[in-house]
Amino acid sequence: MQPTTAWQAMAQRPLSFLTSSWPWRSLAYLGGGVLVGAAAVLFFALGLAAGLVLLVVLIGVAPLVGLVLTSTVVATVERRRLRLVDLDRVSDPHRAPEAPGLRGWVATRLKEQATWRELMFTLLSAIALWWLDLMVLGFSFGLPATTIASTDGETWPWTVFGVLVLLSTPYTVTSWAGARAAMARSFLAPRDRELGEELREVRASQSRLLDSFDAERIRIERDLHDGAQQHLVSLGMTLGLMRLDVEPGSPQDELLTRAERQLSTAHQELRALIRGLNPPVLADHGLVAAVEDYAGRFPIPVTVDLNLPERLPRKLETTMYYLINEAMTNIAKHSGARTAAVRGRYHSDLLVLDIKDDGHGGLDPAGSGVTGLADRVTALDGRMRVSSPSGGPTLLHVEVPCRFA
């Protein structure tokens, strides 16, 4: 998956991270933090002084209330700044005013816990955070500049130290920016954190459902193979024994012939159903061989280009096979395509899959078929995108996290 936070970018792709935009975004975030924090210090100092002076004449409460409410502005700025290092949206926790006008807005804000959390964050930002931002920037850039500028024959070790500090700057700046952003989110969007935990639980539940469906599918396949299929074989033997007592060419012989044909058709359909529930080629040889086998039996020509370094983990392999199977079934039923293609690659712990057809397009992304495919992908913490303009072609793009043991 694409990283959504600076920390994820640094952890998932430590080398390509250096050439990405994340270090620069982190630098902009800390630089803006210094400016916002300095402005907050100035405003708090002026507002607090004015409030204390005017309190003597009983009108100092208004500046102090204004000081509290202004923290909501600082919080709004910080929520927007968070987008530099955290792409997940930070929702506004404030509710609509209970009454119209300024008085209603002020009364609502003063009764909200979110306002007082924002005041605490603004105080923390003014007292400590912007100083820490400045210290990190000073250590990352000021110290190397000082040591390199003062180089002479005796201080060269300090120059080497300064160069090393400068080279580690992207990681230093991003590490602190990620920690600062996590702290800000805990103050400014605690509900988002709760929703994140709930979302993780939902995804875990989806994963458990996939496991249970997989186990149930294997059980059904085994029951059909050991139960219904054996009964059909036994019935065929019984019909064969009955034929020994029937005159050739008699009406009973014709009925037996018809029954044997129907039995053969039922047996073939049952075998196809069992093979679809748990394809032996998938269990024995993996996803690539299973998809190639399925494509060879598909009613239209299918180009299969799956280049994987090794077999996928079992759950992912099974889910991807049935996703491809269902997508191809939809192509055969609804697209009017003459050809189709399945392409898959593995990049940086990510399985990327493209399923394309040259049909008439116009696929509804909100349709039940596409939604079912998207649910399979979401259960694996992946994502799916659909491109299907009117007139075609249709492209199904899937990205799923994948790590080989």
Q: Model confidence over 45-65: pLDDT tens digits?
A: 776 676 666 665 555 566 667
| Contact criterion met (CB below 8 Å) for 222 and 230 | no
Out of 66-80, 121-135, 183-197, pick the least confident: 183-197
Pair type for strands 340-347 and 302-307: parallel
Pair type for strands 302-307 and 394-401: unpaired
Give the contacts of 112 (CB within 8 A, at least 6 positions apart). 93, 94, 95
Mean pLDDT of 267-285: 65
Out of 155-164, 234-243, 357-366, pick the least confident: 234-243
Token pair listed for 101: 């006008």
- pLDDT top residue among 397 and 262: 397
pLDDT at 289: 87
Mean pLDDT of 351-357: 90
Phi, psi of 185 (to 5 degrees): -65, -35
Dihedral angle, C-alpha 143, 146, 152, 153, nearest 10 °: -10
| Maximum alpha-carbon separation in the chain | 121
Mean pLDDT of 237-259: 73
pLDDT at 193: 47
pLDDT at 24: 92
Residue 399 forms beta bridges with which residues?
352, 383
Token pair listed for 94: 């404030």
- The pTM of the full predicted model, rounded to 2 decimals, is 0.47
H-run or E-run covering 72: helix 61-81
Alpha carbon 115 to its chain centroid, in Å, reads: 31
Sheet with 350-357: list strands edge to edge.
302-307, 340-347, 350-357, 394-401, 383-387
pLDDT at 4: 78
Q: How confident is the model at residue 191 (pLDDT cuts 50, 70, 90)?
A: low
- pLDDT top residue among 373 and 57: 373
Q: How confident is the model at residue 28 (pLDDT cuts 50, 70, 90)?
A: very high
Most confident of 59-68, 118-127, 175-184: 175-184
pLDDT at 336: 85
For 95-189, where are the alpha helices, taking DSSP H only? 101-111, 113-124, 130-137, 143-149, 156-167, 169-188
pLDDT at 163: 84
Q: How confident is the model at residue 275 (pLDDT cuts 50, 70, 90)?
A: low
140 pLDDT higher than 80: yes
What value does the mean pLDDT of the chain take?
Answer: 77
Token pair listed for 81: 């700044």
229 pLDDT higher than 80: no
- pLDDT top residue among 244 and 27: 27
- pLDDT top residue among 298 and 368: 298
Dihedral angle, C-alpha 127, 131, 133, 139, nearest 10 °: -160
pLDDT at 194: 46
Q: How confident is the model at residue 27 (pLDDT cuts 50, 70, 90)?
A: very high
| Contact criterion met (CB below 8 Å) for 381 and 356 | no
- pLDDT top residue among 203 and 111: 111
Residues 282-320 as b or e (16 or more Cβ within 10 Å = b): beeebbbbbbebbbeeeebebebebebeeebeeebbbbb
| Contact criterion met (CB below 8 Å) for 325 and 294 | yes
- pLDDT top residue among 364 and 23: 23
Q: Is 326 exposed, middle or buried (0-12, 13-18, 19+ CB in 10 A)?
A: middle
13 pLDDT higher than 70: no
DSSP state letters, 295-360: HHTSSS-EEEEEE-SSPPPHHHHHHHHHHHHHHHHHIIIII--S-EEEEEEEETTEEEEEEEE-S-
Residues 196-231 as b or e (16 or more Cβ within 10 Å = b): eeeeeeeeeebeeebeeebeeeeeebeebeeeebee
Alpha carbon 293 to its chain centroid, in Å, reads: 30
